[in-house]
DNA sequence: CAGCATCCCGTTCGATACTG
DNA sequence: CAGTATCGAACGGGATGCTG
């Protein structure tokens, strides 16, 4: 296979992508990476994991307040989903008034670490992306 | 602040999450991490970046064939979006029949690297997640 | 070959009301 | 407090047909 890559980008990136693709192809039928992205790509899972990771333990409404703009429904749905995936642990206390606490499982913590690379990238390149967007919009206007 | 964390999880995870949240809070109004996830959380962006990273340069239909189950419309929309974000470069050749080639920009390559952590995690823990799901489903059935 | 425009459907998600 | 249930709007995304 003929390979040409821009000089400022070492060949490693390509190898990395191929490795991931390999793993995807190897998967029985549904790609695990796709699944993970389906899970954390939704609007709230990522933030839930982040906040739970930062605070260790949070009650339902504490978490809701920290995230800010999540509806009660979506927070419930998201937390149940994370719980089903074994990423979040749910503790229900038989008290009045009711108290439910959430925290990350070890698996959830490990995912948080995997996230951090993405978080770092986002913060490092957010401006570049914003500039690219502006440049693209300007170009569009010029062409159209 | 009182901190209790399970013994098998070093404190670093928490610090990591706090750091990311710090950066999120710092952002003017829209969190860059959220933006990135909005971008790559959609159904196809991630796969586009992966395949382009692995193959270096791909034509429209080549990319479409590699991804497999993407509609023409969604591939177009996705690629335009990635182009707007400065992650993908689009080369149009004034030929008959038309030829359009896509490849990652350096920025796109750097994102690919950030992805790899997630890809690794997904492949490493896919089974654990699947098992957790099954256990959860069984528990649900037992409770309900 | 590459891509845009239109239609249409399923899913997602917010708002609201009710429960233990 | 921490949910569940239901409804309706909004959006994503597939199928189809048409252009350069």
**pLDDT digits over A85-117, tens only?**
999 999 999 999 999 999 999 999 999 888 888
Tens of pLDDT along chain A (144 residues) come to 333 334 444 557 777 787 777 665 544 445 677 777 788 888 899 889 989 999 999 999 999 999 988 999 999 999 999 999 999 999 999 999 999 999 999 999 999 888 888 888 888 898 899 899 999 988 877 765
B60 Cβ partners below 8 Å, 6+ apart? B75, B79, B100, B102
Q: Which of A50, A86, A106 sits opposite B9 (nearest CB)?
A: A106
Q: Integer distance in angstroms from CA A127 to C1' C2?
A: 31
Q: Which of residues 77-106 of B touch strand D (CB under 7 A)?
A: 97-98
**pLDDT one-digit tens code per residue, B101-141:** 999 999 999 998 888 888 888 888 988 998 999 999 998 77
Alpha carbon B17 to chain centroid, angstroms: 19
- Please state whether strand D lies within 7 Å of residue B68 at its CB atom: no
Omega within 30 of 0 (cis) for the link into A97: yes
Distance, CA of B121 to CA of A14 (rounded, Å):
19
Q: Residue A59 is encoded by which pair of tokens?
A: 């009650």
Angle at B67 between CA B66 and CA B73, to 5 degrees: 115
Distance A71 CA to C15 C1' (A): 9
pTM beyond 0.95: the answer is no
Instruction: Give every CB contact of residue A43 below 8 A, 6+ residues apart in sequence.
Output: A70, A74
In strand C, the nucleotides that come within 7 Å of a protein beta carbon are: 1-6, 12-17, 20
Q: What is the pLDDT of residue B24?
A: 58
Is residue B30 pLDDT above 80, yes or no? no
| C-alpha distances out from residue A38 to A97, B41, B65, B77, Å | 35, 7, 22, 19
Amino acid B4: pLDDT: 36
Beginning with the edge strand found earlier in the chain, give each strand of the sheet holding A88-93 in spatial order.
A57-59, A99-104, A88-93
Give the pLDDT confidence of B43-76 residue by residue, as tens digits: 899 889 989 999 999 999 999 999 988 999 999 9
State whether the beta carbon of B74 lies below 7 angstroms from any atom of strand D: yes
**Which of helix, strand or coil describes residue B113?**
helix
Q: What pLDDT does residue B99 have?
A: 97
| Residue A73 approaches strand D within 7 Å at CB | yes
Q: How far apart are CA B80 and CA B87, in angstroms?
A: 10
């Amino acid at each position: 296979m003929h390979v040409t890559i821009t000089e400022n980008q070492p060949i490693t990136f390509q190898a990395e992508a191929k490795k991931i693709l390999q793993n995807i192809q190897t998967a029985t039928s549904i790609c695990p990476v796709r699944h993970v992205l389906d899970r954390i790509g939704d609007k709230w899972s990522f933030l839930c994991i982040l906040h739970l990771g930062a605070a260790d333990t949070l009650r339902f409404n504490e978490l809701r307040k920290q995230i800010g703009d999540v509806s009660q429904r979506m927070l419930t749905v998201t937390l149940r989903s994370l719980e089903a995936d074994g990423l979040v642990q749910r503790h229900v206390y038989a008290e009045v008034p009711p108290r439910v606490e959430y925290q990350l499982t070890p698996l959830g913590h490990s995912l948080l670490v995997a996230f951090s690379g993405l978080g770092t990238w986002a913060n490092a390149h957010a401006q570049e992306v914003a500039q690219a967007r502006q440049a693209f919009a300007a170009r569009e206007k010029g062409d159209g």
